Amino acid sequence: MRRLDDISVEARDRWQPSREPPAPRRAKSAEAPRMAARPRTPRRLPLILARRTRRILTGAVLAATVIALPSWLFLTGIGHALIEETRDEVLAFTARHGYGVQEIFVEGRARTAPQDLLAALAVKRGDPILGLDLAAARARLETLTWVGSASLERRLPGEIHLVITERVPTALWQSQGRYFLVDRTGRVIDAPPNDEDIASLFLIVGDGAPEQARALLAMLDGEPSIKPRVKAAQRISERRWNLRLDDATHGIVVRLPEEDPEAALAELARLDREEGLLSREVALIDMRLPDRLVLRATPGVEPAASGARRGANGRTGRIPGRDA
């Protein structure tokens, strides 16, 4: 034995030629069928598929839970109750730490009762000021009889400032033996009139009178010399107005036309300014005819004018019987 590069070589390890001749190779038979190689299935494939299936199923279950759980909570009311309970606890915490209602300041109140305002606000001293729904409170305030519009704001930590614009009665509507207050927009105020209202407001009578009161008031605003003298107005057949001046019962009756009553009222103001028409003893002034002014004297008084004609320009001529 000798050593070559630290490798031991023994005599029996050496190559020796075989004494037996090698067996001849067998020729492949062309007719022998070729065996197809069978694919080998990895042993780990079933395990991988099982793991993937479990993951898919687990993900599907989790997704269905995430989607269905909130819907179930709200459909059963449990989720809403939990949210409300949490909200109430948070608001109560803020109120205990200084953010509670302490003062309510109101501007513009004249006729609205304070208890009605408090009931509409739905708050009391010590309530969480952050829990007040401003939009809902304003909507409730504007349903009150005298409140036309309202605005409110929080002034932290504990003040609520409320500004209201009350409806102002401008006429007294008589219907079926009862009296109702009417504001400038023509809306009926659901409140009984007091003595001051009855004494200061002019009376409107007839069907459709409240709805047309705004147009009537605008027309009277254009003639400031006539407006203070109008004490009552009667709507005739829902088409035109009869005005009663100076006295609601026994004053001068002015019959306005259906067409262009503004021009007729302006003509009446001119006649009074230039001719002193309303100072004469007349009980009725009929202005319905476009070319004629018909006057009726006060009963028991000799008529001062009747059948005065208007000129071509639409102006009424000088009233007969009046000194030049």
**Domains in the chain: boundaries:** 99-166, 169-309
Residue entry with tokens 């102006």: 315
Flag whether pLDDT at 292 surpasses 50.
Answer: yes
What pTM did the predictor assign?
0.62
**Total residue length of the chain:** 324
Q: CA angle, corner 169, sides to 227 and 181, nearest 5?
A: 110
9-57 pLDDT, tens digit per residue, is 454 544 455 555 555 565 555 455 555 555 555 556 666 667 777 777 7
pLDDT reported for residue 316? 43
**Which burial class, exposed, middle or buried, applies to 286 when counting CB atoms under 10 A from its CB (0-12, 13-18, 19+)?**
middle
Q: Considering the domain 169-309 in this protein, what is its CATH number?
A: 3.40.50.11690
Identify the residue with better confidence: 305 or 245: 245
Q: What's the CATH architecture for 99-166?
A: Roll (3.10)
pLDDT reported for residue 88? 79
From residue 114, how far is each of 40, 106, 107, 134 by CA, in Å? 93, 9, 12, 18
pLDDT reported for residue 291? 86
CA neighbor of 160 nearest in space, from 198, 205, 129, 119? 129
